[in-house]
Amino acid sequence: MNTDVDSSRTPDERSRRRRFLAASGALLFGGGGLAGCLDDSNDPNDPNGSDGNSGTDGEEAASEMTDEATEDADGTAGPDSGPESVSFEVPHGATIDGTLYGSGDCGIVLVPQINMDRESWKPRAEALAGDGRLVLAIDEDPDDRPASVGGAIEYLRDERDVSALVLIGASSGGEAVVRANANAGEGTVDGTVALSAGGGADVASDLQGRLLFVVSEGDDERFVRVARELHEGASEPKELVTYGGSAHGQGLFDSEHVDDLGGRVGALVERACGG
- The gap between the terminal CA atoms of the chain, to the nearest Å, is 13
- State the amino acid at position 233 in one-letter form: G
Residue 128, pLDDT score: 87
pLDDT by residue (tens digit) across 160-202? 999 999 999 999 999 999 999 999 999 999 999 999 999 999 9
Residue 130, pLDDT score: 78
Average pLDDT over residues 108-132: 93
Question: Domain boundaries in the chain?
Answer: 11-272
CATH for 11-272 is: 3.40.50.1820
pTM: 0.75
State yes or no: pLDDT of 16 exceeds 60.
no
Q: Are 134 and 109 in contact (CB under 8 A)?
A: no
Percentage of the chain lying above the pLDDT 90 cut: 65
103: β partners: 133
State yes or no: pLDDT of 127 exceeds 90.
no
Residue 210, pLDDT score: 98
**Count of helices and strands (H, E) across the chain:** 8, 8
Assign 82 a pLDDT band (cuts: 50, 70, 90).
low
Q: Are 196 and 222 in contact (CB under 8 A)?
A: no
47: preceding bond cis by omega (within 30 degrees):
no
